[in-house]
Structure formats: C-alpha cells, structure tokens
Amino acid sequence: MIIYIYKFLYVLPIITMIGCTYKGNKALNSFTFKTADNASVLPLSQESGLKIKVEEPLPGIKASELVESYKYIPLETRNESLIGYIRKVWFYSDRIYVRDVETNMIYIFNQSGKYLNKIGQRGNGPGEFSDLLYGMTIDPFANRLLVYDQGKRKMNYFTLDGAYLFDRDVPMILDSNFSVMSPNRILVSNHKNIENDHLGKWDSYRIIQLDSLLQIAGGGYEYDDNVHARYLSPVFPPSGENILYNPMFSNDFYSVSSAGLNLKYSLDYSRFENVIDTGYVNKLNNAGDIFDYMESTTYVLPECIETSSFFWFKTHSQNNSNEFYTYYDKGSKLNVSFRKVIQDVDFIYDYTKAYCDDYIVGIVDVPTLRALYDACKKNLVKGKKENMEMIEKMKDDDNSVLVLFKLKPLKRYE
C-alpha cells in the first residue's frame, strides 16, 4: 500500500519582504565607493541555451521511482545550536554550514551533523554583528567564509572553522545574494527597490561586480526592473557546475563566468495559463498590484538546484496549491513534473535547499519524520532499520534533519 504524508506548513515567503530596517543603520552618504581601474561589463549572450518544456505535473510519483539513494543527517541539538528556520545550507570541504534566519546565526557542523561552532555573536567588536546578519557565501579560492552584516554594512571574513579574520566596509546595499566568481571578483545582486542610486551608472545593472577590496569592478545584466516591488528573490541558485543567475520575474537561467552571462536554461511554460510577463510586471505602479499579479501567474520559484546530472526546480502555477516540482535529467534530456511524493519507502522532505556532490539536499522536521515513522510501524511504508532508530531517538524540539537524495535517471513517463 502506498500513502501520501501530508504536512501543513507555514512556509516563509520565497521572496524576502523589505522592512524598515532593511537598509541597515548607516546612511549611504557615510560611504564613499571606489571604482576599480579595470571595471567592465559582463557580456550577455542569449543565442544559445537549452529550452526545457515543462509538462503538466503528475498527481504524484512514488519515492522509490524518484530516488536512487538517500540518507538522513540529523543536526545535533544543543543549547548552542538551536535552529529556528533554515534559509540556506552549504556543504563544503568536510563541513556543513547552515544559515538560520530566526536566530540570525550561521551554524557549522561536520558532515555527520555534529555541532562545531557558530557565527553571529551580537556586539560592536571585531567579528560581532548587528541584528541584520544578512547573508553568507563561501570563497572556494581562498577557502574562507564571507558573512555580510547589513546593519553595519560590512563584509566579515572567517576561516572555514568560524574564526574571525577581518572585515571591510561595503559601499552599497546588498541583499542576501552574492557569490565568489574568481579570486578577484564577487558577484552581488542589485535591484532598484533597494535604492543603490548613489552608484550612478552601475545602478542600472542587476549584477554588480566587486573586486577583492570591495571596490566596484563592473556590472552585468543591464535591466530596468520595478522599483515598486517590495521584495527580493534569490537570484543565484545553488549549482554544482557554475554560478547560475535567475533574473527577477524571469524563467531564464544564465551561466556566469568572467567570459560573461550565457543563457543556459529557458523554461517553456507554454502548456500553462498566465505565464509571467516581465514587461507587464515593470508597468505596475504599486507593490500590491505586483503581489496580486505574481499570485495569479505561472513562473519558476527560487527553489532551484543544479547538480552535475540534474536540474531541479519548483513552479508556482497561478496559486500556491498548484505548486509542483520538476527535475530535468541531463543524460536522457527528459524531465518529469509532479505535485506530491508518494511514500512507499521511508524517504521524505519538506523543502529543498542545496546540493552535495550529485545529491539534492532537503530539509525535514521532526513532526514529518514522526508521521513517516508511524506509517512504517503500520506497514504502510517500507522503513530502513537505521532510519527508524534515528527517529525513535529524536525529541520534539530537536533540530530539523537534512536529507540527501540522488535522483534516478529518467525513463520516459507516458
């Protein structure tokens, strides 16, 4: 017998609302910015790119047909590591980094889930933060962490173990989306609604390049987006191949390198009604109209992940109850969409966040796992002994669990 395990979640919006404290505590005129001598614009190419035709989703897909292998990693629960809501996860070297938006902390675990350290101590000293720890990325060239404090408008640099190194002033407002492209280039997303007009001509670009000294080193993707949009969408989805860029209000994905932006994926939603129209969004004159329009249209959500073998994404189709997942198999060049995972084995996730090698990384909380455990005990779902023992040991207030799963290569679904 196969079952669905339903869970009603309060899901934080996949777009970040801009509050009154978004811009931080420092006035823009308190900073001067320098432009590097070799500042340049990343060329844009839309000539190539893979079109992925998204089909109507299946009502459900069996877990045993979806995943080839999977494993759970409980994140150790201690007084020092109580996590609220996980916004981002990174697997790097032999560490797991978790950004929690409720406690405003970065937690560091080993790859078995044992707690090691955390970043985000409040205060005014070196390596201490305001209440607006706003984003993190990993510099794979220098093997260090970059953590941005929006309140102080500083980029803080840490070792991979979480030891403070130094900080630098950031001469603009950043959202939480930035990525290191090369030893001397950091890419940050820029939107009109965060009001970086002090940057002059560079403010017309939706990607700003910063050099290693955080000087303006150029731009990319020139586009006049809507200043009335009071939210920000993550634009650099996790990718195990390269830096991906998904412009706001767009169903396209670009590969970004020092050579430029090249169209990589274009999602074709022609089988669906009310596909988002970027030009129309830009004509709307207030945040309420933009929100209503987004609710009524079909577009890709930020829950996108690329591994070397698959491209995984989630679609909003006219209303929240119509959301569904799709994964594209690069080997067979096929894709399948589905609304629900049917539990016939003890695999489950609440939402997906990252990649690890060729695995997708999902998050699942304790109540969901307990429901899965009960189904296994009733012989409704086939459960592995080690997973049942893991769930038995869990307490109600334990941290959420990471689930790593490798997708099965696709055969044609008729």
Query: Residue 255 is part of which domain span?
Result: 40-407
Q: Mean pLDDT over all residues of the chain?
A: 89
Asked, for residue 34, whether it belongs to a domain, the answer is no
C-alpha closest to that of 256 among 316, 356, 305, 185:
185
What does the pLDDT look like over 260-304, one tens digit per residue?
999 999 999 999 989 999 889 888 988 899 989 999 999 999 889
Asked, for residue 254, whether it belongs to a domain, the answer is yes
Asked, for residue 143, whether it belongs to a domain, the answer is yes
Our count of domains for the chain comes to 1
Q: Does the predicted model carry a pTM greater than 0.85?
A: yes
H-helix or E-strand spanning residue 279 = helix 278-281
Report yes or no: 30 and 244 within 8 Å, Cβ to Cβ: no
Phi, psi of 354 (to 5 degrees): -160, -170
Q: Strand, coil or helix: what is 295?
A: helix
Q: Is the pLDDT of residue 50 over 50?
A: yes
Read off the CATH number of the domain in which 257 is found.
2.120.10.30
What's the mean pLDDT in 16-26? Answer: 46
Asked, for residue 134, whether it belongs to a domain, the answer is yes
Q: Strand, coil or helix: what is 263?
A: strand
Asked, for residue 28, whether it belongs to a domain, the answer is no
Asked, for residue 284, whether it belongs to a domain, the answer is yes
Asked, for residue 324, whether it belongs to a domain, the answer is yes
E-assigned strands of 248-394? 252-257, 260-268, 298-300, 305-306, 310-317, 319-329, 334-342, 351-356, 359-364
Q: Which of 17-31, 62-76, 114-128, 223-237 has the lowest mean pLDDT?
A: 17-31
Cross-strand partners of 105? 100
What span, in angstroms and rounded, lies between the C-alpha atoms of 43 and 279?
A: 22
Q: Which residues contact 30 (CB under 8 A, 6 or more apart)?
A: none
Dihedral, CA atoms, 246, 176, 208, 215, nearest 10 degrees?
-160
The predicted pLDDT at position 8 comes to 36
Asked, for residue 402, whether it belongs to a domain, the answer is yes
What does the pLDDT look like over 384-411, one tens digit per residue?
999 999 999 999 999 999 999 999 999 8
Q: Is the pLDDT of residue 25 over 90?
A: no
What span, in angstroms and rounded, lies between the C-alpha atoms of 372 and 241?
A: 33
